[in-house]
């Protein structure tokens, strides 16, 4: 069977201005679909032209050349126009995420949204009018390489720019500020064994007694307002008080002295704390994602949440029920995420409990 040919589809308005150039294997179908959509352009589509090519690579090169020479009013954002000889880079090879802003005629910010296909999302807003009293006059689009980056930028934009119609799914509640504690463990001879920090020092100290140090006779706990202050005190204590189980320059345990915990064994302890209402879903996943090779989907199965089984209700008043996919969606997790994709606050929460 021969390779499917590709075509360049050009759209023009009534004044014969070139609106857009797009690549497609089904130009007749796409021309009809595009005529039914508005895209937020001030002018409507009047006519179109089709130019066929034998291969997809030839069509890509022609699309880049056409954008550089014909200058459409609405260029294709997925094309790399830095060099005419470079093949086009489409979102089929690497997904990108956009933050789009909608404005009215008085330049008031109406809405801030996120989408992989912002033009289609904007067209839906324009056709549906979204129930707003004012109409959409213009829009802007800002692209990001990672979904987490676009989500963090959307939160910051909501807090600083204050759109008239905020995204109802955006969590704009202020971050929870928790005190951090520096604890010291001593043996029967009153010699310092270990210095550490944690949001929950009693639980962390009990872990040390159960799994690491069997000669702990007493301990002290000191409270600090934030992690930076606690970290400074921890580093100072390690450098000056010489605890035998800490390394002097880093403030963390030496790698060879850390207890070897497998993801499965860690999941059992994490799940027990979760079912007791001591930690949230976010912290539960954050701790497991710190293990190499553990994705949110694998973490869900390590925790015993198989596809299709209900998720227990939490004691904190938030009912979370459904499948693994629903749980990942609620917490804005991709099924194949790794620790690199986690927001910074997730990583900080997980490191605080290590």
Q: Are 297 and 335 contacting, i.e. CB atoms less than 8 angstroms apart? A: yes
pLDDT single digits (tens) 70-98: 888 888 877 777 654 444 444 444 567 88
Number of H helices, E strands in the chain: 11, 9
The predicted model gives 213-240 an average pLDDT of 89
- pLDDT tops 90 at residue 46: no
- Specify the pLDDT at position 219: 94
- Specify the pLDDT at position 4: 63
- pLDDT tops 90 at residue 195: yes
Q: What does the block give as tokens for 220? A: 């002290």
pLDDT single digits (tens) 278-331: 677 767 777 777 777 787 778 877 877 654 344 444 433 333 344 556 666 666
Please give the share of the chain, as a percent, with pLDDT higher than 90. Answer: 10
Q: Are 204 and 183 contacting, i.e. CB atoms less than 8 angstroms apart? A: yes
Q: What does the block give as tokens for 26? A: 């089904």
Which domains occur in the chain, in start order? Answer: 6-70 (no CATH), 97-161 (no CATH), 180-257 (3.40.1440), 263-352 (no CATH)
Q: How far apart are CA 350 and CA 354, in angstroms?
A: 7
């Amino acid at each position: 069977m021969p390779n499917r040919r590709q075509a360049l589809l050009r759209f023009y308005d009534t004044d014969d201005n070139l609106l857009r150039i797009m690549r497609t294997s089904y130009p007749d179908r796409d021309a009809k679909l595009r005529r039914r959509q508005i895209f937020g352009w001030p002018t409507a589509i009047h006519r179109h032209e089709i130019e066929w090519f034998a291969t997809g690579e030839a069509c890509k090169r022609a699309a880049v050349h056409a954008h550089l020479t014909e200058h459409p009013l609405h260029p294709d954002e997925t094309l790399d126009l830095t060099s005419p000889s470079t093949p086009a880079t489409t979102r089929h090879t690497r997904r990108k995420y956009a933050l789009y802003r909608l404005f009215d005629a008085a330049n008031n910010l109406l809405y801030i949204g996120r989408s992989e296909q912002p033009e289609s999302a904007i067209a839906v807003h324009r056709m549906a009018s979204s129930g707003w009293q004012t109409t959409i006059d213009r829009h802007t689009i800002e692209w990001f390489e990672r979904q987490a980056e676009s989500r963090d930028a959307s939160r910051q934009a909501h807090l600083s720019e204050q759109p008239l119609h905020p995204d109802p799914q955006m969590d704009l509640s202020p971050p929870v500020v928790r005190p951090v504690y520096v604890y010291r463990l001593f043996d029967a001879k009153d010699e310092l064994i270990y210095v550490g920090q944690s949001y929950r020092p009693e639980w962390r100290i009990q872990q040390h007694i159960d799994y690491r140090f069997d000669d702990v006779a007493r301990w002290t706990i000191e409270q600090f307002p934030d992690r930076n202050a606690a970290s400074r005190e921890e580093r100072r204590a390690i450098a000056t008080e010489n605890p035998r189980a800490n390394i002097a320059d880093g403030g963390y345990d030496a790698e060879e002295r850390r207890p070897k915990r497998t993801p499965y064994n860690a999941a059992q302890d994490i799940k027990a704390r979760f079912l007791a209402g001591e930690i949230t879903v976010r912290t539960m996943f954050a701790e497991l994602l710190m293990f190499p090779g553990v994705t949110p989907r694998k973490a869900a199965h390590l925790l015993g949440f198989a596809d299709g089984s209900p998720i227990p209700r939490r004691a904190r008043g938030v009912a979370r029920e459904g499948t693994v996919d629903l749980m990942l969606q609620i917490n804005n997790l991709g099924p194949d995420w790794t620790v690199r994709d986690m927001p910074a606050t997730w990583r900080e929460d997980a490191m605080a409990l290590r």
